[in-house]
Structure 1
Amino acid sequence: MEKSWKEAIKKVLAESSTPLHYMEISEKILSCGYYETDGATPAATVNAQLTSSIKRDGEKSPFIRVGKGIFALKNSPAAEVAPITPPQQKKPEVIAEADVESSESIIHSFGMYWQRDLVVWRNDPKMYGKQQALSKPVDFGKQKGIYILYDHHTVVYVGRSIDRPLSKRLFEHTVDRLGSRWNRFSWFGLLDVTQEGSLREVALNTSLGALVATLEALLIEALEPPQNRKRGDDFSAIEYIQDIDPELKEREIQNTLRSIEQKMRGGS
């Protein structure tokens, strides 16, 4: 195991024959066990490490940026390779943690087509998501922003959660007139995620151009119009994949144990 993020990044890039997107780099670091972290934002941390090294160390930095979010080791064969389109290019560019305060972004995190039945619905439910499969889960229950309810992939309702947090607004839709009309939801959050996995407010520093670009990108992401080939520019956010509520995991384990016990009794 490497002693730092920087050394782990160097190891991953040294092993690659092509430039890599920072999300790929962080995934390889975690999956190969090159570095361990309890942080909730490994991709953002890798991006910040690369960006700050290039900015701070200049020519002395071992890294080189060869495309948007794509990096290689300087003077390596990979640095001469034309950058390929990174996987999951649909995902927007994440903000480096060091630069989050000065960003013009309004939306800082989002989740797409999360499943209603992976949440334990109560008056103050928890909604868990991960930046990557091996990263620390984050509870987005207190998130604020915009949400969309779907019947499978058909939009049935668009709402906002400002005065009441996201999870509470969604809980209300499980018992109101929409209760039987949706099974998935997407959300676009105004609160940023810290490395520790908590949510925080970020001072808005948004120009008219950035606001329009964000609204365009949000609509493209939510509605997926067939003639739009890519997301609008300058939508700085990161997608979180849904994680099942631990309470539901525990229920599944208990149900499995009961089923095994019943089979053993029946066999005896």
Structure 2
Amino acid sequence: MEKSWKEAITRVLKEADAPLHYTEISEQILARGYYSTDGATPAATVNAQLSSSVKHDGEKSPFIRVGKGIFSLRGSAAQTTVTSKQKAQPVAESEEESSGSIIHSFGMYWQRDLVVWRNDLKIFGKQQALSKPVDFGKQKGIYILYDHHTVVYVGRTIDRPLGKRLYEHTVDRLGSRWNRFSWFGLLDVTQDGNLRETPFNSSLAALVATLEALLIEALEPPQNRKRGDDFSAIEYIQDIDPELREREIQNTLRSIEQKMRGGA
């Protein structure tokens, strides 16, 4: 195991045959056991490590940014590799940081039956499979309800948090009409897994780009082959509520016990 994030990042990029997005770098670090962390935002940490090195160390940095969120080792063969999505070319720091997306995190097609529905609702998600879960019950922003993949309702959650609004939709007229939901959050996630408000300093162009990207993510139009420009939000995968996981364990133990008694 490496001693620091920087060493782990360097190791992953050395082994790569093409430039990598920081989210993929963090995934490979954790999956290969190159570094261990109990933080909730490993991808954001990796991005901060890379961006800080590129910005402050200049040409002395071992890393080079070759696209938005995409990095390579300076002078490596991968730096000039052309991937199926993008030709690797240096990107200015100012361009990389100019997105100003108002959406910081989001979750797509989360399952209703992985949540324990109550008034003080908790909704758990992870940045990656091996990272610390985050409770998004207090998130604010926009949400979408689906019947499988068909949109049945779009709502906003500002005065009342996401968990409260979703719970209300389990007991109102929409209660039986949806089984999945997506959300797009305005609150950022801290390293220790808490939600926080951040200053709004987005330009009009960035705001429009964010709205475009949100619609592309939510509706998945067939003619849009990529995400909208300047959508830098981190996607979180749903994590089952610990209470449901405990119920599953208890049910499994009861089933085993019953079978053992039957066999006796």
**Shared fold per TM-score greater than 0.5:** yes
Q: Secondary structure at the match of 2:208?
A: helix
Q: Name whichever of 245-254 and 205-214 sits farther off.
A: 205-214
Amino acid across the alignment from 2:21: H
Residues 101, 231 of structure 2: 8 Å contact kept = yes
Partners of 1:147 and 1:29 in 2: CA distance: 31
Q: CA deviation at 1:19?
A: 2.0
Structure 2 counterpart of 1:74: 74
Partners of 2:226 and 2:36 in 1: CA distance: 34
Q: Secondary structure at the match of 1:233?
A: coil
Any gaps of 5 or more consecutive residues in structure 1? 87-98
Structure 2 counterpart of 1:89: none
Q: CA deviation at 1:179?
A: 0.5
Partners of 1:154 and 1:184 in 2: CA distance: 9
Partners of 1:79 and 1:230 in 2: CA distance: 22
Partners of 2:106 and 2:25 in 1: CA distance: 21
Partners of 2:99 and 2:188 in 1: CA distance: 11
**Aligned residues between the structures:** 254
Structure 2 counterpart of 1:92: none
Residues 143, 184 of structure 2: 8 Å contact kept = yes
Identity among equivalent positions (%) equals: 83
Tell me if 1:262 matches 2:258.
yes
Q: TM-score, normalised by structure 1?
A: 0.91
Q: CA deviation at 1:64?
A: 1.5
Q: CA deviation at 1:217?
A: 1.3
Any gaps of 5 or more consecutive residues in structure 2? 87-96
Tell me if 1:111 matches 2:118.
no
Amino acid across the alignment from 1:169: R
Q: CA deviation at 1:231?
A: 2.3
Partners of 2:64 and 2:204 in 1: CA distance: 32
Residues 217, 232 of structure 1: 8 Å contact kept = yes
Q: CA deviation at 1:103?
A: 6.2
Cα 1:226–1:176, aligned 2, differ >3 Å: closer, same or farther? same
- CA RMSD in angstroms comes to 1.5
Partners of 1:19 and 1:154 in 2: CA distance: 36
**1:138-149 maps to which residues of 2 (within 5 A)?**
138-149=134-145
Partners of 2:253 and 2:202 in 1: CA distance: 53
Q: CA deviation at 1:126?
A: 0.5
Tell me if 1:159 matches 2:155.
yes
